Amino acid sequence: MPYTTPKDVLTAFLTLLRAWPTEPLKSAVFRKGPQHSVSLTGAETALVMVGLANLEGGERSAGVGNNWWHNWNIAVILLVPDDEADPEGTEDTRLDLIEEFGKFLHANRSVGGTTLVGEMTACELFAEQFFANTKQVFRGAHITVQYRTLRS
């Protein structure tokens, strides 16, 4: 099994996300890597950022030969612009976005053809001003997706 690089996994992961046919992911704005600022038109219902977080636990021996397991963590940040006039609606949108992301992940456990497992290992909710260049408050979720691949 050929090794899939983190860059290739992120690219394949984002390609699959961008092609997801169901709302609220379907109309989300997607970004790769950390974003320090954002320009919103006001029509966006969701923003999704995907980047590499870390190699959890370092390399681990696969037991034979020069084979090593890599457990890479992908950081996924789901954001919904808060609406002070409809906080319950905003919260429902955030929860719908998390649920739809879970459906996406369930349908795409293998990424790039060689990744063995993709699983959500953490989901932390927050509400805050996320970007320095705007006063917009976002309701969001920091999600960690771990995937395992073999380097040989």
pLDDT digits (tens, 9 = 90+) for 13-65: 899 999 999 999 999 999 999 888 888 777 788 999 999 999 888 888 888 88
CATH 3.30.360.10 fits 6-29+45-151, yes or no: no
Cα–Cα–Cα angle for 37, 38, 41, rounded to 5 degrees? 155
Burial of 45 (0-12, 13-18, 19+ CB in 10 A): middle
User: pTM for this structure?
Assistant: 0.90
Strand partners, 145: 74, 120
